[in-house]
Structure formats: C-alpha cells, structure tokens
Amino acid sequence: MSDAFLDALTRAACPVVMEIKRTDGDGTDLLGGRRVREIVAEYERAGAPCLSVVTGKWFGGDPDLLSEVSSLTDLPLLRKDFITRRAQLEQSRELGAAAVLLTARLLPRPVLCRLVAESRRLGLTPFVEVSTAAEAAVAHGPEAVVAVANKDISVRERDRGDLDRSLELLPVVRGAGTRCPVSASGIHRPASAAALLHAGFAGLLVGTALLRADDIGAWVAELDQLRAAAVAS
C-alpha cells in the first residue's frame, strides 16, 4: 500500500494541500487566464507537499483535469469529487491520484467504511471529509486523513465557511484515531491558517484563497512567519 499523500503531508514543513479548481461554487473563474501548468508550477515553488484537484462538475472540473495535473508534477494528488463506488476509485488511481475524497455527509456509514477499506487496498489514501461530531467520531484507522469541512456542500460551498467547526471537532477527530486531522476550505488568511495549525491540525486544505492571492508564495511565506512567531512566543 502506498502512503505517498499521507507521508508527504505529515512530513511537510508547511503542511498545506494546495488546490486546483477552475471555478468557485458560484461559477466564478479562479484560474484568471492562467494555464493549469502555471498554477502547478506556482504551487511547487511555494513548497506544496501535495495538491488537491477538483474534478467535480460544480467547480468546472472533469477527470481530464486530474490527468493533466498528474502529467505536470510528481507531487501526490488528491482527487476531489463525489466518490460513491469502487469504479471511481479505480479510475482515480489510473488518472494519477494518490488520495481520494470520501464525503461522510453523502455516504451511508457502511458504504463509507467499505470505500475507505477499498481505497486502502488500491493503494489510495482515504481523505474522509466530516462536518458533524457524529461523522467525526467514526474510526477509519490511522492511515486515513480525516478532514473537517468548514464549508457547507448543501449550498455548493457558497458560504464563507465556519472555522469554529474545525476547532470544535478537532478533539473528536483526534479521539477517533487518525494521525492526520485536516481543516479544509474556508481558510482565507494566513493568520487563520496559522491558528488552525497551532491548535493541533496536522494539515490544511486551501484552494480559493491561494488561487485568488496576488502572490501565492507571499501568502505561504506569511503563514510560515506567523507559525515561527507563535513557536517563539
């Protein structure tokens, strides 16, 4: 079994999964005229340990986007889409994914547990997204990433996001046994990112804020400075 995604994230100096998606939930373009190649290169220069690739139609994605990103980088890739069956896991691996999003809100618990197990058998890291204490309390094993969703998928993530949810659910997620709790989406400022890491998250997933940043490298550098200052204080 491969743990490339999990290992890259947990060993990273700056554990931010940097996301590539064509549009936000309102359909607003996020690439800003840039080619996918350019964004991948910016993320690599900024020190991304791994990338998230949104293939869901809500965000202008498709499987070809994952294939394209895979051809451009050796970084481990997370496929973000509504995964509901084994065939999609197999397709994700074939397209170059090292991890797959499994959304607890959309999957009956037996189906979610089966997909987590099947992901592991296929050498994929299950990236389980939760939004309630009941979802967070389910144990998926130490090799699963468990991510608290700060945005609401029922409104296509058009809300600003609630970072307090991450802070409230972190003890539950940790108690369920994952070694990699992640706070995902709705993280707009480096200060917020630094606070979440300081609170005990092992990683973050940031997309829109980075894609809209004037300088991705500067955003990440500010995060690094804030984390260093917190350690020194």
Nearest Cα neighbor of 183 from 175, 232, 173, 191 is 173
For 48, 63, 64, 77, 90, the CA distances from 95, given in Å and listed in that order, are 20, 8, 8, 10, 9
The pLDDT of residue 1 is: 46
Q: How far apart are CA 216 and CA 95, in angstroms?
A: 26
Give the pLDDT of the chain (233 residues) as one tens digit per residue: 468 999 999 999 999 999 999 998 888 999 999 999 999 999 999 999 999 999 999 899 999 999 999 999 999 999 999 999 999 999 999 999 999 999 999 999 999 999 999 999 999 999 999 999 999 999 999 999 999 999 877 555 565 678 999 999 999 999 999 999 999 999 999 999 999 999 999 999 999 999 999 999 999 999 999 999 987 77
Q: Minimal CA–CA distance to 76: which of 134, 131, 7?
A: 7
Give the total number of structural domains in the chain.
1
Find the domain containing 132 and state its range: 4-232
User: How many helices and strands, by DSSP H and E, does the chain display?
Assistant: 10, 8
CATH number of the domain where residue 214 is located: 3.20.20.70
